[in-house]
A and B are shown apart, each in its own frame.
Chain A
Amino acid sequence: MSDRIVRAHVGIGAPVTATALVASDDFSARYDLDRVAGVFSRPAHKLYGESYVGRILVLNTAKGGVATAWMLYEMMSRGMAPAALLLNAANPIMAQGAALADLPFMDRFETDITAAIMTGDEVTVDPAAGMVTIRG
C-alpha cells in the first residue's frame, strides 16, 4: 500500500503524526467529553467511551458552544488533548481554541475527511502545507 494524500485549506499548528480516531459525528469539547478521564462521555456520540488522548481526532463539524476555545488549551496543558483535530467544517470557536492551544487543526478538505481516514490509520497532519498524509 502506498501513502494517500488529502489536501485542504491551510490550517493552524505544527506538523504531527499519530493514529487516527474517526467518526462521522460532530464535535464539542463541552458536550461530548469527559476531559478529566480523556474519553467521549456523551452516550449518543459514536465515539462514546473511546479515548481521544494523543490521537488524530477526525470528525464532521464543530457544534455547540464557545467553551471549547478554553478547553483545548486546558486539555493541552495536562497532556490530555488529541494530537490533532481534523473537521470537514470548522467554526470560529475551534479555530480560536486551536490558535491559543497550538493544537494542529485543519478543515475544508477536498473530500469528506471522515470517509477518507479510518480509525487506526497512521496519519501525518501538516497544517501549514494544507496537507494530510494517510500512511499505507
Chain B
Amino acid sequence: MRLTDQEEAMLAGEFGEPRRRGLEQQIRVGRFFDAEDLVEIAQVHLMADTESLGEAGVAWLEELAAYPEEQRRVCVPTVTDPRGVDFDAYKRLGQQESWAALERRAIRAFTAMGLLMTDTCINYQTIFPPAFGEHVAFGDTGSTIYANSVCGARSNFEGGPSALAAALTGRTPRYGAHLDRRRKGTHRFVVADRPETLSDWGALGGVVGRAAGSYWTVPVLEGIEGSPTSDELKHFGAALASYGSVPLFHMIGVTPEAHDLGDVFDGPMPDPKTIGRADIDAFYEGFGLHEEGVDLVVFAAPQQSLVEMQQLAGLLKGRKISDRTTLIAATSPEIKSACDRLGLTQTIEEAGGIVLKGVCFYQMYAREIGEANGWKRLLSNSAKLVNIIAGYGYEPVLAPMDKCVDAACAGKMNR
C-alpha cells in the first residue's frame, strides 16, 4: 500500500503506540482487500457492546486507554453504538452484576479515549448525519448501509477494532464502498407492490438480502414511487444488511446516486427480478405465528426513532399488556429523554411496557436474559431482529407494529 509521509511516521510510532497499532491493523486489512492507499475520514461510529467484547476485548481497550492522553485520544468525532446494559433497567431484566461491571470498565476506557458515548445505532437520525460524498468509518451494518445508500456517504462495514483504529488514525483503507467502481449496481429488483408497514419494508430488505450473494453485491431497486420515510428506509436497509451482509443499495429516483438506471450501471444491465406482495407475505409466513402465546414483544434493531415511539405510545394508550407477555422498546438515550419530556415513556409504561435506553435487544446478553425471564416465543416488527435472534434460543415471529401491540395485550397472536 502507498503511504503518505505522515502515515509512515505514524507507522514508525511517532504519534504513539495506539495509533501505530491501529494503522498496522488497517494495513493488514487493506492489503487483504488490495487497497492502494488510505482515505481520510470525517467521523466514526463504533460498535463495541460488552457481550461481543468479552473480558478479553475490554482488557484490550483498557490497555490502549492507559497510554498518555495525546496518544490515546481519537482524532475525529467518534460516537458509540448501543451498549450491553441499561444501568436503570438491568436488574429488572435479570442481567448480572458482572456484566454491568464489565460495561462500566468499557465506558471508562472509551471515555478516556475521547469517545462520545451516544449508545445508538440510529446516529444517522439523531446525532450527526453524514454528508453526501463524505468518507466515514461506521460500525453497525444498519448505520453503514443508511450512510452509504440514503446519505451518499462512503463507508465499509467497520467492525469495532477497525472503527477504533480509524478513530485513532483518522483514516481507513480505501477499498469496497470507498471506490466509485464498487458502488455500481450488480443486481436489479423491480418492486411491484409498495411495502406498507415498517415490517413490510424490513421484509422487502430480507427478500432482497437473501437474493444478494455477498458483501460485494449492490442491489438496485426500481418501482418505488415517491420517497419512503427515514424510518422505512431504516428498516429496509437494516434488514438488507442483516440478511445479505450488504453495505449499499440504490433506489432509483430515491437515493442520491441513482436518479436513473444509467447512473448505477456501467454497460449491460442484469435482468431484473420482480418482488411482489406474495413474496413479502411468504417472508412473514416463513416465521409462522404465535397463536398459543407470546412471551416477549420487542421493538428494537434498529433502535426506535422518536416517531416510532410516538406511534407505539399511540397504539398502547389506554390499553394493558397481558400478564403473560413482556413488551420492550429500545431507543437511544437522546430519544429516551425526549420521550420522557413528551410523555411518551409514561404512556408506554402505564400500559405495562418497558422503555430501554442506549441498548438494543440482541446486544444485551439475549440468551441469558431469555433464560432468566422464561422468554422464548418472541414477536417483533423488526425483520433484522427476527433474523438474528433465533441463534440466541428464541422462536421469533415477524408482524407489523399494530399486530405486535394487539398480541402483547392479548398474550397471544390471533390469525
A-side residues, CB < 8 A to B, are: 9-12, 26, 28, 30-34, 41-44, 61-71, 73-74, 76-78, 89-93, 95-97, 99-100
Contact = CB atoms under 8 A, between A and B. Distances in A.
10 contacts: A12-B28, A28-B245, A61-B214, A64-B242, A64-B245, A70-B159, A70-B161, A74-B53, A74-B54, A74-B57
A128 to B, nearest CB: 11
A73 B57 contact: yes
Given A74-B56, A89-B213, 4 more contacts: A26-B245, A77-B55, A95-B33, A96-B158
Nearest to B241: A65
Contacts of A10: 31-32
A46 B218 CA distance: 27
Interface in B43-65: 47-49, 51-57, 60
Interface stretch (B188-196, B220-228, B374-382, B388-396): B388-396
Say whether chain B's binding surface is mostly helix, strand, loop, or mixed: helix
A97 B388 contact: no
A89 B214 CA distance: 7
B216 interface: yes
A44 B287 CA distance: 12
A89 B388 contact: no
A107 to B, nearest CB: 8
B215 A96 contact: no
Contacts of A97: 159, 161
B391 A66 contact: no
For chain B, give the interface size range: 35 or more
A100 B213 contact: no
B140 A91 contact: no
Given A70-B160, A92-B176, A95-B33, A65 B388 contact: yes
B146 interface: no
A42 B386 CA distance: 12
B80 interface: no
Given A10-B31, A11-B32, A92-B215, A69 B391 contact: no
B209 to A, nearest CB: 9
A9 B29 CA distance: 13
B369 to A, nearest CB: 15
A73 B60 contact: yes
Given A65-B140, A65-B141, A70-B160, A95 B391 contact: no
B56 A68 contact: no
Contacts of A76: 56
B156 interface: yes
A92 B157 contact: yes
Contact of B29 (A44, A66, A96): A96
Interface in B216-244: 216, 241-244
